Amino acid sequence: MSDLAKMQAAAAALEFVEDGMLIGLGTGSTANHFIRMLGDRVAEGLNVGGLPTSEASRRLAQQVGVPLIEIDQADRIDLTIDGADEIDPDFRLLKGGGGALLREKIIAHASDVMIVIADDSKTVTTLGKFPLPVEVTPFGFTITAKKVFDVLRAAGCAGTDVAMREAGAPGRPYLTDNGNYILDCQCGAIPDADLVCQELNRIPGVMENGIFPLFASTTRGLILGSEDGVVIKGLG
């Protein structure tokens, strides 16, 4: 999908940023466009505090001059702008292709408003074609992987293949910013995403999973970019 579509969505999200806001900074190529554009606005005099959802986003924000707030200096966030791997018709998300799902979910859940920015290829009727990432503790990850498999099978997912994400060399685990592993689950289709999210998080070795259900205290909006412009949904 074209970079222009992602840039259009990121540029439209800037319109929702107000002076003095605490802003959650997402992770991924679409969120990176937003962070760079926010840096331009800061250079013009905008006053915001950024809370990055990954070390990669932290580095980029520092490079482009977005002032950062330490995570434990904030107990709530005004607005988070983040990308997604899949978006269903009710604005549930599948996220974590970039491995940042745990921090992304902590930041999104603490936000008054979350605006998802994405190119228009990310909308789906049912979540699950994109592999569902599940962040797990290294200790006992084989046991945890079996429990994850059992949950997906019991929930009637079309596929139940669970594989440890690798990085650098075959067999070498990818490590998240939190020092954990990622299990990528080829679900095919997830019939009840809210149930799967809940059941996965009941497994002791699971830190978080990439299904983002709707959060009661967070308004979720969507900006879908294409080469022709944007479509904005759920933001009044």
Min CB(20)–ligand 5RP separation in Å: 26
Min CB(16)–ligand 5RP separation in Å: 17
Q: Is 86 a catalytic residue?
A: no
Contacts of 24 (CB under 8 A, 6+ apart): 50, 51, 53, 77, 79, 80, 81, 82, 107, 108, 110, 111, 114
Binder to ligand 5RP among 8, 30, 57, 176 (CB under 6 A)? 30
Q: What is the DSSP letter of 140?
A: T
8 Å CB contact between 230 and 9:
yes
In whole angstroms, give the CA distance from residue 100 to residue 103.
6
Residue 199 as a binder of ligand 5RP (CB under 6 A): the answer is: no
Binder to ligand 5RP among 83, 128, 131, 221 (CB under 6 A)? 83
Binder to ligand 5RP among 24, 39, 96, 205 (CB under 6 A)? 96
In whole angstroms, give the CA distance from residue 201 to residue 197.
6
8 Å CB contact between 180 and 174:
no
- Judged by CB under 6 A, how many residues of this single chain contact ligand 5RP? 18
What tokens appear for 43 in the block?
Answer: 């250079």
8 Å CB contact between 99 and 165:
yes
CB closer to ligand 5RP out of 78 and 82: 82
Residue 100 as a binder of ligand 5RP (CB under 6 A): the answer is: yes
Which one is catalytic: 18, 86, 104, 208?
A: 104
CB closer to ligand 5RP out of 85 and 184: 85
SS3 category, 54: coil
Residue 99 as a binder of ligand 5RP (CB under 6 A): the answer is: yes
In whole angstroms, give the CA distance from residue 183 to residue 176.
11
In whole angstroms, give the CA distance from residue 225 to residue 9.
5
Min CB(42)–ligand 5RP separation in Å: 21
In whole angstroms, give the CA distance from residue 197 to residue 133.
11
CB closer to ligand 5RP out of 150 and 186: 186
Binder to ligand 5RP among 21, 23, 58, 85 (CB under 6 A)? 85
Min CB(176)–ligand 5RP separation in Å: 9
Residue 81 as a binder of ligand 5RP (CB under 6 A): the answer is: no
Binding site for ligand 5RP (CB under 6 A): 26-31, 82-85, 95-101, 104
Catalytic annotation, residues: 104
